[in-house]
Structure 1
Amino acid sequence: MLEVGFETLLLLLAAGFIAGFMDAVAGGGGLVTVPVLLLAGANPITALATNKIQGLFGAGTAALSYARGGHVNLREQGGAAAIAFGASIAGALLISVLPTGWIRMILPLLLIGIAVFFATKKGLDDGDHVRRLSPIMFAATMVPLCGAYDGLLGPGAGSFYMLAFVSMAGYGILKATAHTKLLNLASNAGALLAFAFVATPWWITGLAMGVAQIAGAAAGAKMAQKQGARLIKPLLVITSVTLAVKLLWDML
C-alpha cells in the first residue's frame, strides 16, 4: 500500500528526478529528496532509509551510463564495491555506538574545503594527473573510509568519493565522477541493508521515486559526458557549499 497521497507522490517523483540528475553529475541529491520526504511526513530515520532505496536506482543508472560511455570498467571495480558495501554496513550499525556529534560539527568545514579545492585548484580538468595511491592502497584506505561514512551519516559521501579519486587516484574530473557511482551504489546498498533491520523505510514510495531517479540519472550522466569538467566542477562546488550551509542551519 502506498505510504503517501497521490499529490505528495508527484512531488516526491519530481524530487527523485532532480536528485538523480544531480547525483549523476556531482552528487548531493539527498539535499533534495531527504527534506521532501520529511515534508511528506516521514520521520528522520525513515526518510534516510527511503532515500537509500531510491538512491540505488540513480547510482546504478549513472554507473551503467558511464560504463557504456567507456569512462569506467565496472568489473574492475568489483572488489572496491564489495569493500564499500561492507564498510557502509559497519558504519550504519555503529551509528548508535560512535559519537557522531563531532563529525556533524566538522562536516560543514570539510565540505567547504572540498568546494574551495575544486574551485581554486589549477589543472583540474578531464585529464589524469599524478597518482598518489596505488589501486590496491586506494581500495584499502579511501574506499572503506568513504563507505563507512556513507553508512554512518551519508550527506556529502559522493563529494568525498570524488575528492579521493581526484586527489589520491589522480583521475580527471569526468573519470572520477564515473568511478564514484558504483561505489556510491554499493555503500547505499549496504546502508539500506542495515537500515532494513532498524528502521521502517517506505518501500513502495522509495521504489516509485527510484523510477524517477533512473530518468534523472540517465539525463545527468548523458549531459556530464558531453560537458565534462565544465559542468561537473561548478555543480560539485555548488552542492558542497549548499550542503554545508544546510548542515550549519540544522545545527543552529
Structure 2
Amino acid sequence: MDYSTILTLCGFSFLSGFVDAIIGGGGLIQTPAILFSLPQYPVPTLIASTKIPSLCGSLMGAFQYSRRVVVIGKFIGPMMAIAFGASWLGSWTLTRVPNSFMKPFALAILITVFIYTLTKKEFGQVVHQHVSARQQRLRMWLMGAGIGFYDGFFGPGTGSFLVLGFIALIGFDFLKASAHAKLVNAATNLASTLFFMSEGKILYAVAFPMAVANLSGAFLGARLAILKGNQFIRVFFLLIITATIIRFGWDLFD
C-alpha cells in the first residue's frame, strides 16, 4: 500500500466528513472510495476500516452542534444507548446473513422522502411543538433501535434517516435534527467500531489517517451548517438523498 493511495483516501474521507456533518450520507463517498482503491482486501475488512473515520467525524460533528444547539439530554442519552446496542446487534447479524434485501427497501423509502421534502417547502424549516414529552421519548427510543440496527447491518444513509426521523416524528427543524442525529450516529459508529475491532477486521494503517481527515472535514461541515441554517441544510439534504437514490438504484439494476 503506497502513500499516494492513503492520501487519496484521506481526501475522500475529508469530503465524507464534511458532507456527513451537514446532513449525513458521508458513507456514500468514503465507502466506494476505499472499495475501489484497495480491491485486494476483503470487502468486510474495508467496510470495517471506515468505521473509525466515521466515528471520529460523528464525534466532531456532535461536539460542534452541541455547543450551539440545545439538545434534549434526558431523552437523547437513553436513545444513544439503545442505538449502540442495536448497532452492535446489526453488525453481528451482518456476519451471519446477507444484507442484499435491504437495498430495495431503503431505495423505496428514500424516493418517498425526496418527493415529500421537495414538495413540502416548510418541511424541517421550523420546530413544531406538537409532540408530547412522552411521545418524544417513545419515538426517539424506537428510532434508536430501528436505525441503530440498520446502521450496524447495512449503513448507507443512516445520518439522513436520523435527520428525517427527528423532523417527521419529533418535530425538529433541520439544524436541531442534525445536532441530535450526530449524537446518535456517534453511538452507532462506536458500536460498529468496537465490534469490528474485536473481530480483527480493521486496517489501522488506513483507518487512522482517514480518521484525521474525516474529523477535519466534519469540523468545517458542522460550522458551515450552523452558520448557514435550515435552508442550506435542506438543499444539502435533497442533494444527498438524490445521490443515495442513484447509488442504490445503480447497485440494484446494474
Pairwise same-fold verdict (TM > 0.5): yes
**Which residue, out of 7, 11, 16, partners 2:8?**
11
> Deviations along 1:127-167, whole A, 9 cap, x unmatched?
21133772320233111100000001001111111111001
**Structure-2 change in CA distance of 1:48 and 1:99 (3 Å):** closer
Query: Aligned partners of 1:62, 1:146: CA distance in 2, in Å?
Result: 19
1:99 shift after superposition: 5.5
Structure 1 residue matching 2:9: 3-state secondary structure? helix
Residue type at the aligned position of 1:63? A
Is the Cα–Cα contact under 8 Å of residues 91 and 152 in structure 1 kept in the other structure? yes
Residue type at the aligned position of 1:143? G
1:229 shift after superposition: 1.6
1:235 shift after superposition: 1.2
Residue type at the aligned position of 2:91? A
Structure 2 residue matching 1:69: 3-state secondary structure? coil
Which structure 2 residues correspond to residues 52-63 of structure 1 after superposition, within 5 A?
52-63=51-62
State the match for 2:220 in structure 1.
219
Structure 2 residue matching 1:122: 3-state secondary structure? coil
Query: Aligned partners of 1:205, 1:97: CA distance in 2, in Å?
Result: 26
Query: Aligned partners of 1:155, 1:95: CA distance in 2, in Å?
Result: 14
Please list every run of 5 or more consecutive structure 2 residues that lacks an aligned counterpart in the other structure: none
How many residue pairs get aligned? The number is 249
| Greater than 3 Å deviation, 4+ residue runs | 73-76, 96-99
Structure 2 residue matching 1:134: 3-state secondary structure? helix
**Structure-2 change in CA distance of 1:36 and 1:101 (3 Å):** closer
Structure 2 residue matching 1:123: 3-state secondary structure? coil
Note the aligned Cα RMSD (angstroms). 1.9
Percent identity over paired residues: 32
State the match for 1:186 in structure 2.
187
State the match for 1:131 in structure 2.
131
Query: Aligned partners of 1:74, 1:143: CA distance in 2, in Å?
Result: 14
Is the Cα–Cα contact under 8 Å of residues 74 and 182 in structure 1 kept in the other structure? no
Please list every run of 5 or more consecutive structure 1 residues that lacks an aligned counterpart in the other structure: none
Is the Cα–Cα contact under 8 Å of residues 126 and 228 in structure 1 kept in the other structure? no
Is the Cα–Cα contact under 8 Å of residues 67 and 178 in structure 1 kept in the other structure? yes
Give TM-score, length-normalised by structure 1.
0.92
Which structure 2 residues correspond to residues 104-115 of structure 1 after superposition, within 5 A?
104-115=103-114
1:239 shift after superposition: 1.1
Residue type at the aligned position of 1:93? W
Residue type at the aligned position of 2:67? R
Is the Cα–Cα contact under 8 Å of residues 158 and 184 in structure 1 kept in the other structure? yes
1:73 shift after superposition: 5.5
**Structure-2 change in CA distance of 1:38 and 1:97 (3 Å):** closer
